[in-house]
Amino acid sequence: MNELLFRSTDQRFGFRISSDAVDHMASLCRKAKRSETGGILAGRYSERHDCAIVTEVTGPPPDSRGGPTWFKRGVRGLQQLIERLWRLDRSFYLGEWHYHPYGSPGPSTTDTKQMSLISTSDSYSCPEPILLILGGDPNAELEIRVFVFQRGASYLELPRLIE
Which pLDDT tens digit goes with each residue over 23-57?
Answer: 999 999 999 999 999 999 999 999 988 999 999 99
Calpha distance 107→70 (Å, rounded): 12
Note whether 40 and 78 are within 8 A (CB): yes
Which pLDDT tens digit goes with each residue over 103-150?
Answer: 999 999 999 999 999 999 888 888 899 999 999 999 988 999 999 999
Enzyme catalytic residues: 36
Q: How much is the pLDDT for 86?
A: 81
Count of structural domains, the chain:
1
Residue 56 makes CB contacts below 8 A (sequence gap 6+) with 41, 42, 43, 85, 91
CATH code of 41's domain: 3.40.140.10
Q: How much is the pLDDT for 152?
A: 78
Which pLDDT tens digit goes with each residue over 62-111?
Answer: 999 999 999 999 889 888 888 888 888 888 899 999 999 999 999 999 99
Please state the pTM of the whole predicted model. 0.93
Q: How much is the pLDDT for 163?
A: 66
Q: 45 is in which domain, residue-wise?
A: 3-161
